[in-house]
Amino acid sequence: MTITNHDIRKPSIPLSPLSDKSSGRARSFASFIQSCRVTNSPRGDFISDTKMLIDIEKFPDVQSWGEFYCCMTSRHACPEAIAEGRKLWREYQKSQGAVPRRIKRETAP
């Protein structure tokens, strides 16, 4: 019996390189989201909605979790969407080689 390793990827793992091929610059968060696959899940719904905002140029160039969180809350995102956004932000930070600090959960005033 022969056991082989297969390249099994999670559906939303980006398949493109971590930097812009033409310039060698770090990827933007919007570019990271664009590389994620849309699946039939809460995560996929979040990615789909975010891609739509990027396509119609309504998604800001966020540079931090705080900016991204403000973007989501200004659009009245539900707690589940914010949780998915937090997970994607962590994945983005890891893809950039950054070791993210634990993201503090924001609470409504």
> pLDDT value at position 84?
96
Provide CB contacts within 8 A for 37, sequence distance 6+.
Answer: 11, 12, 44, 47
pLDDT in tens, 70-107: 999 999 999 999 999 999 999 999 998 876 566 566 65
> pLDDT value at position 36?
95
> pLDDT value at position 88?
96
pTM value is 0.67
Answer whether 12's CB lies under 8 Å from 32's CB: no
pLDDT in tens, 3-42: 444 434 444 444 444 444 444 557 899 999 999 999 999 9
